[in-house]
C-alpha cells in the first residue's frame, strides 16, 4: 500500500485522530446464464443478479511469433485488503456466496450517511459523508478518490482480464498498528493471522470462479506457484495470479528501541510458511523501520505523522544522514502535524531534519541480509519499493554478487536512479497507476533503458491500497476514450462498464474500480500512442523471465571458500580475536581480515590449482579501499591486472572481467577510504 505523489489530489487539514490514523494507514448459488456453453471465456452459470462485463469477443490465447506470452501485468494489487487492519477499514468483498448485494455493501458503521466513516474523511477530506448504498445504485462508491471501498470485485477483475491483462500479483497486506488504533474492528490485529486468511480466501475465490465456469480448473482466475505454470495459464488465455506479501513486520520482525524482536529461526520459519502458502514475492519493510531494513520516507505533514507512528511503534524516530550517491530517500521536511504530535509522551518532540541529509541511516540489517539470502535460496522475488536507498543499494550489491535477477519495483516507490541496475540484473519494473499523461511521461523517460535490455513494462494498480487513482480527465478532454473501443490485441470490443444501476465512464469517473483498467490502458494509448501499450503488452513475458530466472538460479561455486593458503601483507593484531587472512574465506560474515593502517597493502589467495576466473566479490568492513586493483597469476610471480577502481565506496563490490586462467588472486590496496587499514568480511572467487 502506497501513497504516491499525485498532483490532482489535495488534502484538507486533518483532525487529531485523522493525522494519527493517516500515519498508520499509509499502509450464491449460480443461476443459469445466457452465455453459450462453447464460449470458454464466459461462465456457464453466473449469479443473478450480478455485475456486467461489457466486453465481447474471444480473449487471445497462445504465444506470439517468437514463442513469447502476451499480455499486461499488474505487479501490485490488494484483492483482499478488506480482511486487513481489523476487517472494517475497507468495506465490501471481492466475492460472496450470497451474491453481489452481499459482496458490494458498505461497512455497517457507515450507515445511514457516512458520518462515522472516519477513515473515509481522513483520506478523502471533507466530513466523510457519503451515500453508503453500494449495490445496486453505487451513487458515491467505488470512486477514484475513495480509499475505503472495495475495488476488486471478481467480475471487475474478469473485465480487466478480458481486456488483455494476463498477470495479477495479489499482495497480501495488513498493518498491526493501523488495526490497533482504528476504532472499528472485528478480529485480531496479528499480521500473520491476516496474511493466512487472505491467502486462504484467494484460493476460495479461485474455487468460486471455477464453479461459475463449470468445475475445477475451468475458471479464468488461476493461482500459480511457478513461472512454467504461469506460462501455461497465459497460453490458455487465462489470468495467472501470483501471491505476494506487503506488511510492516514480516515474521514478527519489528524492532523496539533498536532491539530486534525476531531471530534467524523466526525468519526461516516465516519464509517456509509463506512459501507453502504459495507466496513468491514480498517486501521486507514498509513505512516503519523494522528489524530487517530501514524505509524510504514520506514527506511533509504526512511524513511527520508517519514519523510519529514510527516512534509509537518502535520507540525511535527516523534518523537521517547525507547521501553518499545520487540516490536519495524522500525528503522528510520539518512540517508540523499537530494532531499526531499531540500523541507523543510529554517532553518528546519530533526531531528537525537538515535538507541536505535525505538518506535513512538504516540500511539492510544483518537479519535483513539473512532474510534476503533466504529468499534467494527459495527462488523468491524481492520487492525493493519502500526500502531506504541504503537498504536497496545493499540488496542490489548482494544480487549482483550472486548474479541473482529476482528484484521487483512494482509501484513507483524506488529511486529512479536504480532503474538500470535493476534491469541489468534481469529484474522487473512497473509504474504506479498514475493518470495517463503522467504514466506516459514516465514510460517515455525509461523507454531507452527498456529497449537496451529488451524488456517490457508493467503497472501497479495498488487498488484497495491507500493511494488514490487516476481522476477523470473530463468529457471534453483531448484524445478522450471513445466507447466502444477495441482491446489492445484487437480481438475484443469493450464498452462502458455497468454494475447494477451504475455505468462508469473513465472520462468522467476516473479509474474507480478494477474493471476500468482496460479503459485506462485505452486512455494511455490515445494520449501516448501505441508504443507505450506495446511495451505493456510485453510485460507478462518480462515478469515471467525475471521469475523463471530466479527459480532456476544456482549459486556459483566459491573457489575461495575454505582456502588454507590465504596470505596478506599484514594483519592487525588483537588480544581478543583474530584478523588473520583465512578469516575472510571461512564463509562466516561475522569474522574478517584486517590489515595494518597504511595504503600499500595486499591480500592473496592460492586456489590450489589453475582455475578459470571470471568474477571476484569483496565484502568490505567499514575500513575499505577507495583505490585498489585485482591481479591474477598462474605462477604467483607474473601478475596481470584484470580489474581496478579509484572510486571504491565500501560495501559489497563485484568485479567482473573476461574469463582468465589463474591459480593466484591478489587484491592490491592502493588508497584507503578511511583512516584505518583495509578490512574484508568475505572474499569470493567465481568461475561463472
pLDDT at 14: 40
Q: What is the pLDDT of residues 618-654, one digit of tens each?
A: 999 999 999 999 999 999 999 999 999 999 999 999 9
Instruction: Share the mean pLDDT of the chain.
Output: 92
CA dihedral 251, 252, 258, 264 (to 10 degrees): -40
- Residue 545 reports pLDDT greater than 90: yes
Q: How many CB atoms lie within 10 A of CB 336?
A: 14
Alpha-carbon distance 516 to 160, whole Å?
7
CA 211 to chain centre: 32
Is residue 669 classed as helix, strand or coil in its secondary structure?
strand
Q: What is the pLDDT of residues 117-149, one digit of tens each?
A: 877 766 666 677 899 999 999 999 999 998 889
CB-side neighbour CA atoms (13 Å) of 624: 17
| Structure-block grid coordinates of residue 283 | 517486501
pLDDT tier, 564 (very low <50, low <70, confident <90, very high otherwise): low
- Alpha helix ranges (H) inside 623-688: none
| Structure-block grid coordinates of residue 303 | 511524513
Q: What is the pLDDT of residues 52-82, one digit of tens each?
A: 999 999 999 999 999 999 999 999 999 999 9
pTM: 0.92
| Structure-block grid coordinates of residue 465 | 491500497
Alpha-carbon distance 612 to 558, whole Å?
12
Q: What is the pLDDT of residues 524-534, one digit of tens each?
A: 999 999 999 99
Q: Which residues have C-beta within 8 Å of that of residue 575, sequence separation ≥ 6?
A: none
**Mean pLDDT for the stretch of residues 11-23:** 44
**Mean pLDDT for the stretch of residues 272-281:** 98
Alpha-carbon distance 437 to 456, whole Å?
19
Relative orientation angle of helices 300-314 and 16-25, to the nearest 10 degrees: 80
pLDDT at 589: 87
Q: How many CB atoms lie within 10 A of CB 259?
A: 10
Is residue 482 classed as helix, strand or coil in its secondary structure?
coil
Check: CB of residue 686 under 8 Å from CB of residue 657.
no
Q: Tell me whether strands 381-383 and 407-409 are parallel, antiparallel or unpaired.
A: parallel
**Mean pLDDT for the stretch of residues 475-502:** 97
pLDDT at 123: 64
Alpha-carbon distance 280 to 382, whole Å?
9
Alpha-carbon distance 423 to 446, whole Å?
11
- Residue 25 reports pLDDT greater than 80: no
Q: How far apart, in Å, are the Cα atoms of 646 and each of 418, 628, 629?
A: 22, 7, 9
Q: Give the start-end residues of each E strand in 505-651.
A: 567-568, 593-594, 601-620, 625-633, 640-645
Alpha-carbon distance 246 to 381, whole Å?
12
Alpha-carbon distance 96 to 98, whole Å?
5
Alpha-carbon distance 14 to 336, whole Å?
12
CA dihedral 141, 144, 149, 155 (to 10 degrees): 80
Check: CB of residue 202 under 8 Å from CB of residue 170.
yes
Alpha-carbon distance 455 to 453, whole Å?
6
pLDDT at 466: 78
Write the DSSP assignment of 496-517 as a string of letters.
Answer: -EEETTEEE-HHHH-S-SGGGH
CA 578 to chain centre: 41
Alpha-carbon distance 33 to 391, whole Å?
52
- Residue 2 reports pLDDT greater than 50: no
pLDDT at 35: 39
**Mean pLDDT for the stretch of residues 90-118:** 93
Check: CB of residue 394 under 8 Å from CB of residue 292.
no
- Residue 32 reports pLDDT greater than 60: no
**Mean pLDDT for the stretch of residues 331-348:** 87
pLDDT at 137: 98
pLDDT at 385: 96
Q: What is the pLDDT of residues 420-468, one digit of tens each?
A: 999 999 999 999 999 999 999 999 999 999 999 999 999 999 999 978 8
Q: Tell me whether strands 72-77 and 165-174 are parallel, antiparallel or unpaired.
A: parallel
Alpha-carbon distance 10 to 106, whole Å?
25
**Mean pLDDT for the stretch of residues 593-613:** 96
Task: Output DSSP code: residue 260.
Answer: E
Alpha-carbon distance 461 to 432, whole Å?
6
**Mean pLDDT for the stretch of residues 596-605:** 97
Lowest mean pLDDT segment, chosen from 245-259, 311-325, 562-576: 562-576
Alpha-carbon distance 155 to 221, whole Å?
11
Residue whose C-alpha is closest to residue 204's, from 115, 94, 117, 286:
94
Length of the chain: 688
Cα-Cα-Cα-Cα dihedral sign, residues 283, 205, 139, 16:
negative
pLDDT at 33: 36
- Residue 16 reports pLDDT greater than 60: no
Alpha-carbon distance 462 to 414, whole Å?
15
| Structure-block grid coordinates of residue 545 | 523471465
Residue whose C-alpha is closest to residue 680's, from 579, 577, 605, 578:
579
Amino acid at each position: 500500500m502506497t501513497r504516491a505523489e499525485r498532483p490532482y489530489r489535495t488534502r484538507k487539514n486533518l483532525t487529531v485522530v485523522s493525522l494519527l490514523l493517516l500515519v498508520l494507514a499509509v499502509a450464491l448459488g449460480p443461476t443459469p446464464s445466457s452465455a453459450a456453453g462453447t464460449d470458454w471465456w464466459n461462465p456457464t452459470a453466473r449469479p443473478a443478479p450480478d455485475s456486467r462485463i461489457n466486453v465481447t469477443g474471444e480473449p487471445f490465447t497462445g504465444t506470439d511469433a517468437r514463442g513469447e506470452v502476451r499480455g499486461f501485468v499488474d505487479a501490485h494489487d490488494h484483492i483482499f485488503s478488506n480482511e486487513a487492519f481489523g476487517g472494517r477499514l475497507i468495506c465490501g468483498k471481492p466475492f460472496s456466496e450470497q451474491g453481489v448485494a452481499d459482496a458490494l455493501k458498505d461497512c455497517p458503521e457507515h450507515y445511514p450517511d457516512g458520518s462515522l466513516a472516519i477513515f473515509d474523511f481522513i483520506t478523502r477530506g471533507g466530513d466523510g459523508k457519503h451515500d453508503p448504498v453500494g449495490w445496486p445504485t453505487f451513487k458515491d462508491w467505488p470512486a477514484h478518490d475513495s480509499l475505503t471501498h472495495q475495488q476488486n470485485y471478481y467480475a471487475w477483475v474478469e473485465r480487466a482480464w478480458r481486456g488483455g491483462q494476463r498477470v495479477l500479483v495479489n499482495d497480501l497486506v495488513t498493518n498491526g498498528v493501523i488495526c490497533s488504533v482504528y476504532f472499528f474492528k472485528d478480529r485480531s490485529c496479528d499480521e500473520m493471522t491476516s496474511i493466512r486468511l487472505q491467502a486462504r480466501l484467494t484460493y476460495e475465490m479461485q474455487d468460486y470462479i471455477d464453479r461459475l465456469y463449470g468445475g475445477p480448473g475451468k475458471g479464468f482466475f488461476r493461482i500459480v506457484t511457478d513461472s512454467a505454470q504461469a506460462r501455461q495459464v497465459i497460453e490458455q488465455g487465462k489470468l495467472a495470479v501470483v501471491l505476494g506479501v506487503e506488511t510492516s513486520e514480516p515474521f514478527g520482525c519489528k524492532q523496539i528501541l533498536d532491539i530486534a524482536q525476531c531471530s534467524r529461526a523466526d525468519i526461516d520459519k516465516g519464509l517456509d510458511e509463506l512459501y507453502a502458502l504459495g507466496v513468491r514475492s514480498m517486501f521486507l519493510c514498509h513505512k516503519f523501520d523494522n528489524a530487517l531494513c530501514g524505509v524510504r520516507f514520506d514527506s511533509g505533514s504526512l511524513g511527520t505523522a508517519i514519523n510519529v507512528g514510527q516512534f509509537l511503534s518502535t520507540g525511535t524516530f527516523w534518523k537521517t544522514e547525507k547521501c553518499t550517491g545520487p540516490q536519495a530517500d524522500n525528503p522528510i521536511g520539518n512540517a508540523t502535524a499537530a494532531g499526531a504530535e499531540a500523541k507523543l509522551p510529554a517532553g518528546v518532540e519530533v526531531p528537525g531534519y537538515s535538507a541536505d541529509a535525505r538518506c535513512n541511516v538504516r540500511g539492510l540489517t544483518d537479519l535483513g541480509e539473512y532474510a534476503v539470502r533466504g529468499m534467494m535460496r527459495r527462488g523468491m522475488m524481492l520487492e525493493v519499493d519502500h526500502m531506504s536507498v541504503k537498504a536497496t543499494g545493499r540488496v542490489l550489491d548482494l544480487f549482483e554478487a550472486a548474479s541473482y535477477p529476482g528484484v521487483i519495483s512494482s509501484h513507483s516507490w524506488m529511486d529512479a536512479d536504480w532503474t538500470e541496475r535493476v534491469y541489468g540484473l534481469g529484474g522487473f519494473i512497473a509504474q504506479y497507476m498514475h493518470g495517463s499523461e503522467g504514466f506516459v511521461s514516465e514510460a517515455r523517460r525509461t523507454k531507452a533503458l527498456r529497449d537496451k535490455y529488451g524488456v517490457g513494462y508493467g503497472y501497479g494498480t495498488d487498488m484497495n491500497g491507500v493511494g488514490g487513482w487516476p481522476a477523470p480527465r473530463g468529457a471534453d478532454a483531448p484524445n478522450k476514450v471513445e466507447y466502444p473501443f477495441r482491446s489492445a490485441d484487437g480481438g475484443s470490443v469493450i464498452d462502458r462498464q455497468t454494475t447494477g444501476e451504475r455505468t462508469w465512464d473513465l472520462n468522467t469517473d476516473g479509474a474507480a474500480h478494477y474493471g476500468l483498467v482496460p479503459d485506462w490502458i485505452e486512455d494511455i494509448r490515445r494520449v501516448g500512442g501505441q508504443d507505450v501499450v506495446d511495451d505493456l503488452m510485453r510485460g507478462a513475458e518480462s515478469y515471467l523471465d525475471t521469475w523463471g530466472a530466479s527459480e532456476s538460479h544456482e549459486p556459483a561455486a566459491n573457489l575461495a571458500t575454505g582456502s588454507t593458503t590465504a596470505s596478506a601483507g599484514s594483519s592487525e593484531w588483537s588480544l581478543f580475536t583474530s584478523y588473520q587472512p583465512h578469516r575472510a574465506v571461512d564463509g562466516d560474515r561475522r569474522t574478517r581480515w584486517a590489515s595494518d593502517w597504511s595504503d600499500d597493502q595486499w591480500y592473496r589467495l592460492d586456489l590450489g590449482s589453475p582455475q578459470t576466473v571470471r568474477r571476484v566479490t569483496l565484502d568490505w568492513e567499514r575500513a575499505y579501499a577507495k583505490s585498489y586493483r585485482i591481479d591474477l597469476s598462474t605462477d604467483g610471480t607474473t601478475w596481470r591486472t584484470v580489474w581496478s577502481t579509484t572510486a571504491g565506496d565500501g560495501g559489497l563490490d563485484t568485479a567482473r572481467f573476461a574469463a582468465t586462467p589463474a591459480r593466484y588472486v591478489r587484491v592490491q590496496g592502493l588508497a584507503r577510504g578511511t583512516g584505518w587499514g583495509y578490512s574484508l568480511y568475505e572474499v569470493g572467487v567465481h568461475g561463472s
